[in-house]
Chains A and B, each alone.
Chain A
Amino acid sequence: MFTARNKGRFALVAAAAGVSLALAGCATGDPLDDTTDPTTEPAEPGTSESITIGSQGYYSNEIIAEIYAQALEAAGFEVNRQFNIGQRDAYIPALESGQIDLFPEYTGNLLQYYVPDTEATQADEVYAELQVSLPDGLQVLDQSSATDQDSYNVTAEFAAENNLVTIADLAGVEGLILGGNPELEERPYGPTGLADVYGVEVSFDATGDATVDALLQGVVNVANVFSADPRIGENNLVTLEDPEGLFLASNVVPLASADLPQDAIDVINAVSAALTPEGLVAMNVQSTTDELSPAVIATQWLTENGLI
């Protein structure tokens, strides 16, 4: 039994090594890239009317993607939904390779992806720089007034105790713990940016989806929460002002393939014109509090705004 067990284990290791080598042999970047998957074959704008829409693995982003999808469907386009893809680093290659034609994005974060050391912070500057920074084959359509950007939040009590109004006020506070998603640690506005721009030293706790809970329970003092998150209002969190522009203004903007048909562009621009910050928060509330599906929320919003 001893030998048999060892043999089994050895076989497993050998198999794992074999798979790794096979992966390594053909990998030029993303080893999990499924470009050959027939179900995600790129739509060919111009030759067919099918438009592939993607979304992040973030409920609010998925709602916006669903709005795009339903608006386009109402205008007679065939839509292929590829939702819940994950973070920017995972889906941008798919957009660049033409597998995805349309994606709800956020101006500031998208600009920072392409120009990590950008100095633009205001909405118009960011949008203008974004338009010239995108690679060939991609374009941004009109930005909407709705914003959903990273922001640093503290509890009302903590803000009162330490007289906090702006992020700079954190500089005098000892033993700060910043909570957020794991990737925040590597972002320009993460712990490094806080130290460089505001002289605020923090330790980092990857609290992930439980970030707001962690803040309320005192596990962390400062939490990175998206500004359109309804829990900021529900829990009386104080969003610290950002006078130095650590975070870039991040308006909702459709990122599209350069050869998206003009009539589809018109449909999406009409959606962006109607999307307001309040409207976005209200839809997020419908998702988190009322637990409605993105499809239902999108239909309601489009109907209310007379878009379908």
Chain B
Amino acid sequence: MNLFADAFAWILNPGNWEGRNSIPQFIGEHLWYTVLAMILASAIAIPLGWYIGHTGRGRDIAVAATGAARALPSFGLLFLFVMIGGVANRDSSVMIVLALLAIPPILAGAYAGFEAIDRRVIDAARSMGMTERQIVARVEIPLGLPLLWGGLRNAVLQVVATVVLVGFVRNATLGYPIVQGIQINRFDQMLGASVLIIVLALLLDAIFALLERYATPAGVRAGRNRDHRTSSTRRRAAGGATPASTEKEMSV
């Protein structure tokens, strides 16, 4: 009896693909929690990060707070919130915990994206007569996008992995077959659900990797090789360009 084979048998069993507690239902719920938490976290973290990045105000606090927030134990936090909010509000509690987890990397991506911009570019925009609003909208946001996508990518990985905890408070998401499997000693469903979560995480990561590369404005990508800033390694890291892709762009 091979455990890995059992896990794949569980995944491939047609009985697990329909009806109550089906794999599609679990995947759908898993994605639903992930997407909702990401939207909630982005709605808070992106504007805040842009504000911090543009003005430089509250940067120290943001750095300290995001660092500390990364150390929060999500499991303990979830039960604390469910205890405070009651079972009736457990979905809100779950969302808050997931969003809290996703905010630090998104916030860091948002303000680091602004900070990584060559100051001379912003000075140039200002000397052209752009208003602060125009500088943010037309210069800083587009140029900061690559790092922001990187932050979102980190956040979505953390969230998709942590949604498993939902299985402890309700029968939903791919966490449920794992939590239930522990109690009834069903290792096939535990490992099967884990494999599905890994696949989901890799898929989401791949999607965000593509977004990171292609959802960046053409001008930003084109401008990358002509970057003559002194600390060029950092700039390249900010752009997320591989040496290979840079060469390709140059040959074009």
Contact = CB atoms under 8 A, between A and B. Distances in A.
Contacts of B242: 2-3
Interface residues of A, number: 35
B171 A185 contact: yes
Contacts of B88: 214, 217-219
A206 B2 contact: no
B191 A2 contact: no
B191 to A, nearest CB: 7
Q: Which label, helix, strand, loop or mixed, suits the secondary structure of the B interface?
A: helix
Interface string B160-188: 00000001111100001001101111010
Nearest to A218: B88
A21 B184 contact: no
Contacts of A186: 180, 184
Contacts of A89: 183-185
B202 A13 contact: yes
A182 B189 CA distance: 13
Interface in A209-229: 210, 213-214, 217-219
Contacts of A87: 183-185
Interface string B1-41: 11111000000000000001100000000000000000000
Interface residues of B, number: 35
A86 to B, nearest CB: 7
Q: Which label, helix, strand, loop or mixed, suits the secondary structure of the A interface?
A: helix
Contacts of A23: 3-4
A28 B1 contact: yes
B115 interface: no
Contacts of B236: 1
Interface of B: 1-5, 20-21, 82, 86-88, 90, 167-171, 176, 179-180, 182-185, 187, 191, 198, 202, 205, 236-237, 240-243
29 contacts: A1-B236, A1-B240, A16-B198, A21-B4, A23-B3, A23-B4, A27-B3, A31-B3, A87-B184, A89-B185, A90-B182, A182-B176, A182-B180, A183-B184, A185-B180, A186-B184, A204-B171, A205-B170, A205-B171, A206-B167, A206-B170, A206-B179, A207-B87, A207-B170, A208-B169, A210-B82, A213-B86, A213-B87, A219-B87
User: Top 5 nearest A-B pairs by Cβ distance?
Assistant: A89-B185, A24-B4, A206-B171, A182-B180, A183-B183
